[in-house]
Structure 1
Amino acid sequence: MEKPRRAVVVTGFGPFGEHAVNASWIAVQELEKLGLRDDVDLHVYEIPVEYQTVQRLIPALWKKHSPQLVVHVGVSGMATTVTLEKCGHNVGYKGLDNCRFCPGSQCCVEGGPECIDSVIDMDTVCKRVSALELDVTVTISKDAGRYLCDFTYYTSLYQSRGRSAFVHVPPLGKPYTAEQLGRALQAIIEEMLDVLEHSEEKINCQHEH
């Protein structure tokens, strides 16, 4: 039996602040060149650093593609590794976006849970990718930074009941090239799909008995 084709959506961010070129979008474009495995349709989007656009765009992407997984990629000026974020936070958004806007409530979803975890076990993904001995170090984080990255992640986790992931990359050349980041994203997302499929098989087995 042929495996059904699955959609995976991957987003990077547009320029903001001192990031005139956003490493996250460059890395996502590299991933697009490499592609994912054969049964996956990869859709990539550049997201502007604007709260209101994120709130409109994320649900629209889920509706349009019904993806198996959405992976958001963002840049962190403090990062020196490729970082897998475990969870998104609802409250504490005070930083102004590119439109000089920040949510009046300082939260993503009023009345939503304080924190939502990804259904993907990031520790497992990190271990597996590290075992591939790529020339990129992968680490784990529980704080995506309370700016557009965290805001996007929470919005997506809320929308998808946890079927989202977030990856922080360092700025280009500090220390990785675009090609290295693209290859790392390819490996990370393929492991995420694998982990997701195995956890779903387990759930399905439990339903059948």
Structure 2
Amino acid sequence: MILLTGFEPFGGESTNPSWTAAREAGALLRAEGYEVRTVELPCAFGDSIRVLEEALEQYSPQVVVCAGQAGGRSRISLERIAINCDDARIPDNAGNAPVDEAVVSGGPAAYFSSLPVKAALAALDTAQIPAEVSQTAGTYVCNHVFYGLMHALRLRPGTRGGFVHVPYAVEQVPPGSVTASLPVGLMAAALAVVVRTTLGTTADLKLAAGATH
């Protein structure tokens, strides 16, 4: 079983490409014979993890890929690490704006993704989909969910999971804008590549994909 999640719109947007891409990736994978469930998460601290945990309990997935929008980025971002910090620059959809609060009180400072991010990067490069390994998932609801996922998966040793950020969708960017964007179909293809790579990889590749700043 594969679980894919995306978020509802936030920040005044009418759409969130992470959810559209998750749904389309689910359809691609189902057509290949995989069993997939897709869940839309609320863009809200606390509630998002609650909905995710309910999905984990209901579906008992083998692989979990959560996706979120990172407007301004130009590539599919394979997130490496989630930190135990909520620090909201803008309120979430429920009006919450935590500052310097723990995602999980008493939890570890950080969790690493259990997805093979380097192997996925190589597979995305082969598929000619622009991608990168990201060293930060921010401190908003995306990181909140990423941390909550990995905290929950500590009790599910047979399940691997992680987080992928996607850029703006093409239709979100005004004509003539230089703001980076990608077609949703390409985002969906990327999520499907991440899932297939995870299912086919037991040990991640060792290749340079770090950052100097």
TM-score between both structures, scaled by the size of structure 2: 0.82
Structure 2 contact 79–165 (Cα < 8 Å) conserved? yes
- C-alpha distance in structure 1 between counterparts of 2:32 and 2:167, whole Å: 29
Query: Which of 71, 93, 98 is 1:98 aligned to?
Result: 93
* 2:31 maps to 1:34: no
- C-alpha distance in structure 2 between counterparts of 1:50 and 1:26, whole Å: 18
Alignment of 1:54-69 (within 5 A): 54-69=48-63
Count of residues in Structure 1 that have an aligned counterpart in Structure 2: 190
Cα distance, 1:112 vs. partner? 0.4
* 2:190 maps to 1:184: yes
Q: Would you identify which runs of 4 or more consecutive aligned residues in structure 1 move more than 3 Å?
A: 36-39, 102-105
- C-alpha distance in structure 2 between counterparts of 1:104 and 1:74, whole Å: 20
CA 36–126 in structure 1, closer or farther in 2 if over 3 Å, else same = farther
Give the aligned partner of residue 117 of structure 1.
Answer: 112
3-state SS, counterpart of residue 119 of structure 1: coil
Query: Which of 138, 147, 150 is 2:131 aligned to?
Result: 138
- C-alpha distance in structure 2 between counterparts of 1:28 and 1:39, whole Å: 17
Query: Which of 164, 168, 172 is 1:167 aligned to?
Result: 164
Structure 1 contact 70–165 (Cα < 8 Å) conserved? yes
Identity percentage of aligned residues: 26
Structure 2 contact 28–192 (Cα < 8 Å) conserved? yes
TM-score between both structures, scaled by the size of structure 1: 0.83
- C-alpha distance in structure 1 between counterparts of 2:13 and 2:41, whole Å: 14
- C-alpha distance in structure 2 between counterparts of 1:10 and 1:28, whole Å: 6
Amino acid at match of 1:183: A
Structure 1: state its 5+ residue gaps. 1-6, 200-209
Judging by fraction of residues, say which structure has more helix.
1
- C-alpha distance in structure 2 between counterparts of 1:87 and 1:36, whole Å: 29
Query: Which of 144, 148, 157 is 1:155 aligned to?
Result: 148
Amino acid at match of 2:162: A
RMSD: 2.0
Structure 1 contact 129–191 (Cα < 8 Å) conserved? no
Cα distance, 1:170 vs. partner? 0.5
Amino acid at match of 2:187: L
Structure 2: state its 5+ residue gaps. 171-179, 204-213
1:30-52 CA deviation, whole Å, 9 max, x = no partner?
Answer: 21221257553100011110112
